[in-house]
A = this chain, B = another copy of it.
Amino acid sequence: MEKVDKTPNHKFSLVDQVENQLISYFKSMGLKPGDSIPNELQLSKDLGVARSVVREALSRFKMVGMIESHTKRGMVMTPISLFGAMRDFLIPGMLDEDTILDLLEFRVVLEIGISGMVFRNCNGRNLEELKNIVGSGGAINSNRYASDSEYAFHSKLYEISGNNSIIEFQKVIHPVLEFVEKKYNSYFEPIQKDLDSRGLHVTHKDLVDLLERRDLYGYKQAVEDHFKVYTIYLNSRKHIE
């Protein structure tokens, strides 16, 4: 481990440099979960900085759950889950408009992408659970559901996909989606009304029916159509720019 560059560096603080050095160290050593790393005093000596600087860098890795520390036992690498740490500090209001809409699109794309998996994995029990959610969920109008029911339904789809990273990802961006739903409601509303009037809306019940009928292509198409409100808005927005 090399000593950090202590010449007045206007771009990176010592903590930043130590963070980078540690990442390099982790990589070069090929560390795996359970492996331990040198103690703080050792690191501060090796890197030539104060212990407080090392601690601030280590603190960063602790936030994302990359290392755990215990008194006297030292510090060990812990398995990270990509999105696990993100959930806590993601504040929708801190994202700029473009990013928020990109994430809305991301979500739509993802749900279209998993439709094949969902169809494959969907069994009788899953179908019953989906029906329950659709049944109990108070539909506000044709395609707008109470937020709880909406969330429950799509969560179940992610769950059926069986991919934990995708499930975690959904949990991360959920607050962002609620945020965008509120913020852009006035844009979505008229589009939805238009779709409704033309009988082009696809309800949760429609989706469940198609799953039950084992109509793969119908289901795939219906999933796309279910998100038409968003895709129409997103596309209109792109063509303006």
Residue of B nearest to A167 (CB): B102
A66 CA to B56 CA, complexed, in Å: 16
Residue of B nearest to A77 (CB): B94
Categorize the interface residue count of chain A.
35 or more
Q: Which of A84-102 contact B (CB under 8 A)?
A: 86, 88-91, 93-96, 98-99, 102
Residue of B nearest to A79 (CB): B96
Chain multiplicity (copies): 2
Q: Which of A156-187 contact B (CB under 8 A)?
A: 161-166, 169, 172-173
Q: Which of A183-239 contact B (CB under 8 A)?
A: 224, 235, 238
A59 touches B61 (CB 8 A): no
Whether A55 sits at the interface, judged by CB under 8 Å, is: yes
A166 touches B106 (CB 8 A): yes
Given contacts A102-B163, A102-B165, A106-B169, list 15 more A-B pairs with CB under 8 A.
Answer: A23-B88, A26-B94, A33-B96, A60-B60, A60-B63, A80-B94, A80-B95, A81-B99, A86-B86, A98-B164, A102-B164, A103-B165, A106-B165, A109-B166, A113-B113
